[in-house]
Amino acid sequence: MRTIKRPGEHEIEVRKSRFLCSLARVTEESEAREFIQLQRKTHHDARHHCSAFVLGDSGEIQKSSDDGEPAGTAGVPMLEVLRRNEITNTVAVVTRYFGGVLLGAGGLVRAYGGAVSAAIEHVGLLWRRPVRVVSVEADYLLAGRLDNDLRSAGYQVADTSYDASVRFQVNVPVEDVEEFRTWLAATTAGAAEPSEGPLIHAELSL
What integer pLDDT is reported at residue 201 of this predicted model? 83
Q: Where are the domains of the chain?
A: 2-123, 130-205
pTM of the model: 0.77
Write down the mean pLDDT value for the chain.
94
What integer pLDDT is reported at residue 27 of this predicted model? 94
Question: What pLDDT band is residue 185 in, cutting at 50, 70 and 90?
Answer: very high
What integer pLDDT is reported at residue 113 of this predicted model? 97
pLDDT at 206 exceeding the cut of 70 = no
Closest CA to 198 of 181, 177, 167: 177
Question: What pLDDT band is residue 1 in, cutting at 50, 70 and 90?
Answer: confident
Taking only the tens place, the pLDDT of each residue in 111-135 is 999 999 999 999 999 988 889 999 9
CA angle 101, 103, 106 (to 5 degrees): 175
Whether domain 130-205 has CATH 3.40.50.10140:
no
What integer pLDDT is reported at residue 94 of this predicted model? 98
What's the CATH class of domain 2-123? alpha beta
Averaged over 192-204, what is the pLDDT? Answer: 87
Averaged over 37-42, what is the pLDDT? Answer: 96
Averaged over 91-99, what is the pLDDT? Answer: 96
What integer pLDDT is reported at residue 63 of this predicted model? 97
Instruction: For residue 107, give the H/E element and its range.
Output: helix 104-123
What integer pLDDT is reported at residue 100 of this predicted model? 86
Averaged over 101-117, what is the pLDDT? Answer: 95
Residue 40 contacts residue 50 (beta carbons within 8 Å): no
Give the dihedral of Cα atoms 103, 105, 107, 113; nearest 10 deg: 130
Distance CA(142)–CA(192), nearest Å, equals 9
